[in-house]
Structure 1
Amino acid sequence: MQAKKLMMGAAFCCAAILGTAQEFKNDGLQGNSLNAYFKPVENVTLEKGVLTLPAGALHQVTTLPFPAKGLERVLLSFRARIKGPHVIEENPQYDRLFFLSEWHRRNQGQPLACWSVIFRNREGKIVKPAANFSQFFTAVMSSEMKTYREEFHTPPETATVEVVFKNANKEDALLIEDLKFTKVDAAPTLNVNPEFAFGRDNYSGWNVGNNYRITDNPEFPGKFRLQAGTANADGYARGDGIPVTPGENIRLEYKMKKTDGIEKNARLVIFTYKDNLLRDDCQTGQLSRVFGVGSKTTEGKYSFVVPDGITLLRPYLQNATADYLRFIRETPPAK
């Protein structure tokens, strides 16, 4: 009997490593069984497609693993709302908490419901994203049912993706519906959110920076732009890593100008990397192209070939405002 138990345990372990363990049922929470979507959890309900983390205690729920590969582009989407007193409609000062991480909100005594994305390898160990990748726009603070989306490239060695939801305040219930993952296989650009079309509250593709915002574009109602810096202070935004292959032909399309009121220089820099650390001191220098940005809006294109050994690109925008920054894979010229 003991030998049989050991064999069963070994088989289960191998199944988990090989990807045959239970996976997230990716149908938008249409079923009523928690076990089809989430790891074992108590005092959380799923009824009529709505997941509820109730008030009265702090709850946390983690999805079952969703299969993925390293450097794959994935879109996480769901709808959520807060049922309780800690909502922005009653506390407009929460607006400043949007740009803080979960850790910073908690340390300031303002814990809010939130989500986080976890990457794991084939052995089930956590795969760390880039060293300076920061998830900050993950707070749920509205009493209205709203759609939330986060699009990203998975780190190298990723085998599965999980999402953790928390109702971080005992007085609030967190309600979630229509949760799903979508693999983005045919995107028109290599970089995520190139035209900032996800809106003012979604910084997918632009997770790191200082004194920067996605704002309404006054020249084109309904469209948005990325603004780094203000008349009172410098600012910058770093794009997420963009997976590329050595020898590829890449075209950058841009429309940008120096942010109004700034006297210092403005620039766009393309950094290149041989790994996923994306630290500023890991710049290779093989393709560190710098574009000076003037006070008049400029549209342009720049084509290049990815150098040997380079696997990631990253744009860096300083003191400039961009309507779009598109990295596009070009078809190699006919021989």
Structure 2
Amino acid sequence: MKLIYRLMLAGVLACAARPALAAPPLDLDFAKPHAIDGLLKDPAGRLQIESVDGAAVLVADDTTVRFQDIAVKPNGRYVLSLTAGFQGNGESIEENPHFEVFNRLGQTGANLPSREIRFLDASGKSAGQTLRYGLPFKSMHDYVDEFYAPAGAVTARIAISTGKANRLLLAKAVLAESRETETLNINPTFALGPVNYAGWTNISAGGQLIQQDGKTIFDTKYGSSGQPIPLTQSGTYAISAKATGNGYNSIVIIRVYDADGKELMRASTRQYGPPTYFVPPADAVYASFLVYSCLLEEVRLQRVGDVSAIEALRKK
């Protein structure tokens, strides 16, 4: 893990020293000519463009669909959008609601289609955490993954597995830079969908997204963790949350780490409304949330000024 965080620090310094890398978008609509050219060659002939329910889709049988490598910016924020479904004898989320778990980071199954985003550094070695999720819907479903590329990454390598004996149907695949600028953390209001866990990992036992008054909220249970959030600038930061306590020791914590993964500090709030301000140490590289016993409607990490701004903000 130490190597990952050293790469994050290296990426921060590299961004300051040179212009950002160009990030050509991935935009494959299989109803359009030549979309299949965005994939690696398929010598086994298991990839075809077919008409399904009147729409042109990529059909993949019992194989892995591999995309051409895509340039990414270190610490860049991206959105991968896929429209996909599958056919096969195995279960799906439509038949088994417990398959909701396969929408979470790292949850895949041998008999279920899945997607993977792997990051590579300039030497072609793995950089940071590989993102893997299941594709649990048989019916065509819009999947959205929002994420940060690791600081050491210059390339993203995307692959979609059909799982055993399945036929994958893929209508589109689009990778673009995120337009979100309001918050540093991903999916702050859970607006990406009722089963979209983007921005979260290591979810506590029993924790899940639920519906309340027509909104998606996160029942965190006792200790759910967010994914790493790059801190690329010094300054004053704020955390805020809209939540209801739901059990013992309800609290929202932000943890700040250095390049070696050493925790440098914590800031926290039990007042779900007003912001809590803090200044990360000079050697801070990234942060992540840790939330206990909350029905969480939204949570935000924002940079709100330079280092000197904290005194005036605390007096408000």
2:255 to 251, 271, 280: 271
1:116 matched to 2:116: yes
Distance 1:158 1:258, change over 3 A: same
1:74 matched to 2:78: yes
Equivalence for 1:283: 263
Distance 1:97 1:299, change over 3 A: closer
2:90 to 83, 86, 101: 86
Equivalence for 2:12: none
The total of aligned residue pairs comes to 278
On the 8 A contact 1:24/1:36 being kept in 2, the answer is no
CA distance in 2, matches of 1:113, 1:252: 36
On the 8 A contact 1:236/1:316 being kept in 2, the answer is yes
TM-score of the superposition, structure 1-length normalised? 0.74
2:302 to 318, 321, 328: 328
On the 8 A contact 1:81/1:144 being kept in 2, the answer is yes
**Structure 2 counterpart of 1:88, one-letter code:** S
Secondary structure, counterpart of 1:36 in structure 2: helix
**Structure 2 counterpart of 1:153, one-letter code:** Y
Distance 1:176 1:190, change over 3 A: same
**Structure 1 counterpart of 2:284, one-letter code:** I
Equivalence for 1:162: 157
Distance 1:77 1:61, change over 3 A: same
- CA-CA distance at 1:92 after TM superposition: 2.0
Secondary structure, counterpart of 1:180 in structure 2: strand
Secondary structure, counterpart of 1:95 in structure 2: helix
On the 8 A contact 2:225/2:290 being kept in 1, the answer is yes
1:147 to 142, 150, 158: 142
1:306-317 equivalences under 5 Å are 306-317=280-291
Distance 1:240 1:257, change over 3 A: same
Distance 1:186 1:24, change over 3 A: closer
Equivalence for 1:203: 197
From the two aligned structures, give the one with the greater strand fraction. Answer: 2
**Structure 1 counterpart of 2:220, one-letter code:** A
Higher Cα Rg: structure 1 or 2?
1
Equivalence for 2:177: 183
CA distance in 1, matches of 2:175, 2:282: 33
CA distance in 2, matches of 1:119, 1:157: 9
**Structure 2 counterpart of 1:305, one-letter code:** V
- CA-CA distance at 1:27 after TM superposition: 4.2
Return 5+ residue gaps in structure 1 as ranges: 1-22, 230-234
Q: Aligned-pair RMSD on alpha carbons?
A: 2.7
Equivalence for 1:299: 273
Equivalence for 1:250: 237
- CA-CA distance at 1:88 after TM superposition: 2.7
